[in-house]
Amino acid sequence: MPIEIIKISPFDDQKPGTSGLRKSVKRFQTPDYLQAFVQSIFNCIENLEGSILVLGGDGRFYNREAIKIILRMAAANGVAKVLLGQGGILSTPAVSHLIRKYKALGGIILSASHNPGGPEGDFGIKYNIATGGPAPESITEAIYQQSLRIQEYRILTVQAIPMDKLGSFTVGDLQVEIIDPVADYADYMETLFDFPKITRLLESSNFSMLFDAMNAVTGPYAVEIFQNRLNAPESAIMRRRPLGNFGGGHPDPNQVHAKELMQKLYSATGPSFGAASDGDGDRNMILGNYFFVTPSDSLAIIVANAHLIPGYKDGIKGVARSMPTSQAVDLVAKRLEIPCYETPTGWKFFGNLLDDNRITFCGEESFGTGSDHVREKDGIWAVLFWLNLLAIKQCSVEDLVREHWAKYGRHYYTRHDYEGINATKANDLMSNLEDQLAGLTGKEFAGLKVALADNFSYLDPVDGSRTEGQGIRIIFEDDSRIIFRLSGTGTQGATLRVYIERYIADVKQHDLDTQEALVELIAIANVLADIEEYTGRCKPDVIT
């Protein structure tokens, strides 16, 4: 079958963010746009010829078309075999597991994670390396530099490409094996968790669960694991069918975008346990009846109780959290006498720590939690961890969290998002904050004295690389924190994220409303950054 060499002009907007290249669907549909980026990836991968790659995505609009293009390009570039999820479907953590299990050279994941889908929505692509984790900055920067000078791409001439029937077919000399997207991953979960114990919990008359797949990739995973293997009733899974536009919803598992789930949990007749996952299956939200678990608390509770879970009974090497994530897990790590690392936002920063066997668990405040079982955050894994803990503890979600607070204290924590703001104004806001840093230490605001003010930088303890400019930190003497950063996951304008945290050890003060407990710090943040002036917003678009 002949190979075409298509001459093109490079694009100037293909710099990967924290999770690969994300743009609007319409941008990806620009002639040769996807092809240019895929060829840039292939040009930067050593030993590509004769290799095995994993390929799949979250099923969003343009997923199938993109897969057909990538398969034809993989064949033209000498790839020997591609493991493809049936129907083009694979969750991000499942891709990571498959890369590791089958010793693939790497994998291409098609997803814009929690961003909206559909013809007017977003699309994304990223490359994961042989460890199963996201490509490090050295590789993503090389891909970007390649994209700026690329002049041609290689592709096989058009042929019909089936994706929906298990089995093998060829595209030129490329062997494509269509695999069950769920089976390998589900089998792996059974080695980590006590499925019989979880089954007994789900079959008990005094416990019920509700999982919101958000019409995204985890629907098939939830059906196979929760319903088929753990005997949860069919009613335990809502929005189970993956749809190209996620049913018109926003596949971000938080209180705003999972409104129906929240309404069901916050009712007298609601289930005991609720959870949701996002577009590509790597994020999670955990709920109890009338109770929300912050992702920061979830990470801390997982680490504190890991010794109870079969897959982690041999101990914990260390933990890591992203810098904006609350310091709740730090106190657990101190009590357990294990290392705790603070990294920039972006799962790739955990990769070196995991591969160097420095940590067992890691997590981000943005609803992402994971461990060394794969090299991505993992939504279904986190839900299973919580179910296993509840089956062991025989208590409610709220009781488990309050037990943790009584032992370690409570970190009141919130994130205020200002979405789609003018990028120039957002950068001006951050520059204004940067200009204030030198004079902030020692100043008092509402009785709180600033102990440290800086722009966070990270020195990787494994490879010695330094990452600068990762967010403005204002840390007070009582360990309260205000953090400002611009998100790298959106595609329209800029998103300003403001993270606010306050620690209270006294159990008698653990019942405060979160926003009320943080009201003084919220006011300080608004004054310091002059948020309304720069954003034109008098309140956040999303509060989590």
Active site residues: 113
Quote the tokens at residue 377: 């955050």
Residues 455 and 432: their CA atoms lie apart, in Å, by 12
Quick check: helix, strand or coil at residue 80? coil
| Strands laid side by side in the 340-343 sheet | 340-343, 319-322, 361-364, 368-371
Question: How many CA atoms within 13 Å lie on the side-chain side of 198?
Answer: 25
Residues 358 and 339: their CA atoms lie apart, in Å, by 8
| 427: phi then psi, degrees, rounded to nearest 5 | -65, -35
SS (H, E, C) 5-66: EEECCCCCCCCCEECEEEEEHHHHCCCCHHHHHHHHHHHHCCCCCCCEEEEEECCCCCHHHH
SS (H, E, C) 485-523: EECCCCCCCEEEEEEEEEEECCHHHCCCCHHHHCHHHHH
First to last CA, the chain: 53
b/e code 334-364 from CB counts within 10 Å (16+ = b):
eebebebbebbbbbbbbbbbbbeebbbbbbb
Helix (H) / strand (E) element for 83: namely: strand 81-89
b/e code 497-511 from CB counts within 10 Å (16+ = b):
bbbbbbbbeeeeebe
**Residue among 385, 463, 378, 488 nearest 133 (CA):** 378
Residues 3 and 74: their CA atoms lie apart, in Å, by 11
